[in-house]
Amino acid sequence: MPIVSLFGPDGSGKSSLAVGGVTELVKETPAENMLFEPNNEDALLDRIEKVLSMSKEQLTDIGIGLRTSVLHKFRDDKIKSQLFNSLLGDTLT
């Protein structure tokens, strides 16, 4: 399973494979640029170098932005609405 969090709780940088739901979680966030394809060592090395060159403040800002985006995507009201619509569709209209 790919790493979902790009940054550890101690601020250490991580990267993530561009597979599964990870791409949807980081879509339209600065973290989207940190994804790499499986078996692409050059891309992995590039992402590691990019993370190592960033300041702790930059990493924190990306992490906070990603957290905010994920919380927005998985708001209770949004999930309830999507679940309701997927189960019942337009049967009530």
| pLDDT, tens only, 3-55 | 434 444 454 545 555 556 777 788 888 888 888 888 889 998 999 999 999 99
Instruction: Indicate the domain borders of the chain.
Output: 16-88
Q: Are 1 and 47 in contact (CB under 8 A)?
A: no
Q: In this structure, are residues 38 and 17 in contact, taking their beta carbons and an 8 Å threshold?
A: yes
Task: Compute the distance between CA of residue 34 and CA of residue 51 in angstroms, rounded to an integer.
Answer: 8
Contact by Cβ (8 Å): 5, 22: no
Report pTM. 0.59
**Between residues 32 and 92, which one has the greater pLDDT?**
32
Q: What are phi and psi of 55, to 5 degrees?
A: -75, 165
| Span 49-69, average pLDDT | 91
